[in-house]
Amino acid sequence: MNFDVVIIGGGLAGLTCGITLQAQGKSCVIINNGQAAIDFASGSMDLLSQLPNGRKISHFEQNYAALYQQLPQHPYCLIGKEKTIEKAQQFEDLAKSLNLGLLGSIAENHLRVTPLGGLRGSWLSPNSVPTVQGNDVFPYHSIAILGIEGYHDFQPQLLADNLKQNAQFAHCELSTAYLNIPELDQLRNNAREFRSVNIAQLLEHKLAFSDLVKEMKTASQGADAIFLPACFGLDDQSFFNALKEAVGLAIFELPTLPPSLLGIRQHKQLRHRFEQLGGLMLNGDKALKAEFVDGKVSKIYTQIHQENFITAEHFVLATGSFFSNGLVAEFERILEPVFHSDIIGCQKFEQSNRLSWTAERFSSPQPYQSAGVAINAHCQIQKNGQFINNLYAVGNVIGGFNSLELGCGSGVAVVTALTVADEILRQ
């Protein structure tokens, strides 16, 4: 099999790159080995929420110089300020064209409500999620927080108690209640199946819709707005929007414990567009090894296609970090298993010293989380000290930064994906 581009990894980074290339006439295949991190994400996307010194930020452009000074190996710093901003804005336009329903702008981070009632800085969030801008107060005075009987992944009272501590919600009157949905009785008997995805699947096919609307109106007790766990609408927001219209109130949904319905919706929409453009998904397959000729990748072998190798002009590594096995930790080393790329980390991380991989405090940022492949300004991967011309890395497989600590994982994913798409299209 021969393609213009082989992309290894079908998450946010891989699909963003693939969609952009397919739209420009490149033939792409995505080797997709199971669920991606986006399926477990909150649905909100972060560009940069914190500097390495711990200072929270709201404006990316104003704080780029400080990021460069403190962490020059960050992918944004390698790519450059202007291009990073350009690619972030390009993704905002792409999200609109895909009808992802994301609100926000690179101009300033907003604050989204977390399931525990905190406020977290974000770049883009689904329009169904409650958000505030800076110190602005939430526009609704009374909020009914409604859980689902027997569903323990969403705790209305805990959310209400913590939410009230934020100045933006101090003026709100908060009430809590639980929805009794008889259709869910069969799931309640097995706690392992009583998750957001299972609930959404069942409700879309067996729900007495009018009964749910009536109960929500009763439980809200005249509130101006309702907060719900994100359990309504599996493929897109149409079910949630229908519920909102029928109830006649402002309704917002909050992500629950993984897997996340909000992330799954985005993943399905991205994958649908990639396939709609003619891209091929090899689902359930796994890249095993690659062959190099004259310093370039020539072919790749997968678990299903061990005899029939795959060739391409360009190869993109979008396998993510440890969560999706894009990186593997052995006792004495951390490695990238497909191309055996060079690994880098932060200043405190030494690949050959296992004791440097973790911090003493469990709650502290862990040095191993900064491990990943080494790249240059073109996102080309380094192997044995040399950069490979036709091999690129996108997303959290890249090293030199801690995406969890800095709040930049989604931003790095889309910015590097669009940068690599540009590099390939330019050749």
pLDDT at 154: 92
CB distance 199 to 234 below 8 Å:
no
Least confident window among 122-131, 330-339, 409-418: 330-339
How many residues are present in the chain?
A: 427
Domain of residue 140: give its range: 134-254
pLDDT for 323: 87
pLDDT score for 192: 67
Confidence check: pLDDT of 240 > 80? yes
Q: What is the mean pLDDT of residues 102-115?
A: 96
User: Is pLDDT at 205 greater than 80 in this prediction?
Assistant: no
Are 319 and 276 found together in one domain? yes
Helix (H) or strand (E) holding 119: strand 119-122
DSSP code at position 355 = G
Residue 71 lies in a domain: yes
Confidence band of 275 (pLDDT split at 50, 70, 90): very high
Looking at the structure, do residues 157 and 192 belong to the same domain, yes or no? Answer: yes
What's the CATH number where 194 sits? 3.40.50
d(C-alpha 73, C-alpha 291), whole Å: 28
In-domain check, residue 126: no
Q: Identify the CATH number of the domain in which residue 365 sits.
A: 3.50.50.60
408 pLDDT above the threshold of 90: yes
Number of domains in the chain: 2
Task: For residue 373, tell me if it sits in a domain.
Answer: yes
For residue 98, CA distances in Å to 19, 101, 150, 240 come to: 10, 8, 35, 18
Residue 175 and residue 73 in one domain: no
Q: Is the pLDDT of residue 81 over 80?
A: yes
Identify whether the C-beta of residue 391 lies closer than 8 Å to the C-beta of residue 93: no
Question: If we measure between CA atoms, which residue out of 38, 57, 33 comes closest to residue 47?
Answer: 57
In the predicted model, is pLDDT for residue 188 greater than 80?
no
In a domain, 122, yes or no: no
For residue 78, give the nearest of 314, 330, 402, 399 by alpha carbon.
399
Question: Are 306 and 412 members of one domain?
Answer: yes
Of 201, 231, 254, the residue at which a domain comes to its end is 254
User: Are residues 185 and 230 part of one domain?
Assistant: yes
**35 within domain boundaries:** yes
Q: Tens digit of pLDDT for each residue in 120-161? A: 999 999 999 999 999 999 999 999 999 999 888 899 999 999
For residues 312 and 327, what is the distance between their CA atoms, to the nearest angstrom?
A: 23
Whether 76 maps to a domain, the answer reads yes
327 pLDDT exceeds 80?
A: yes
Residue 271 domain flag:
yes
- Dmax over CA atoms of the chain, in Å, equals 71
Whether 272 and 249 share a structural domain: no
Identify whether residues 9 and 96 lie together within a single domain: yes
In a domain, 202, yes or no: yes
Task: Determine the pLDDT at residue 209.
Answer: 85
φ/ψ of residue 185, rounded to 5:
-55, -40
Residues 78 and 194 in one domain: no
Listed in sequence order, the residues at least 6 apart from 379 whose beta carbon sits closer than 8 Å to its beta carbon are 75, 78, 79, 392, 393, 394, 398, 416, 419, 420, 423
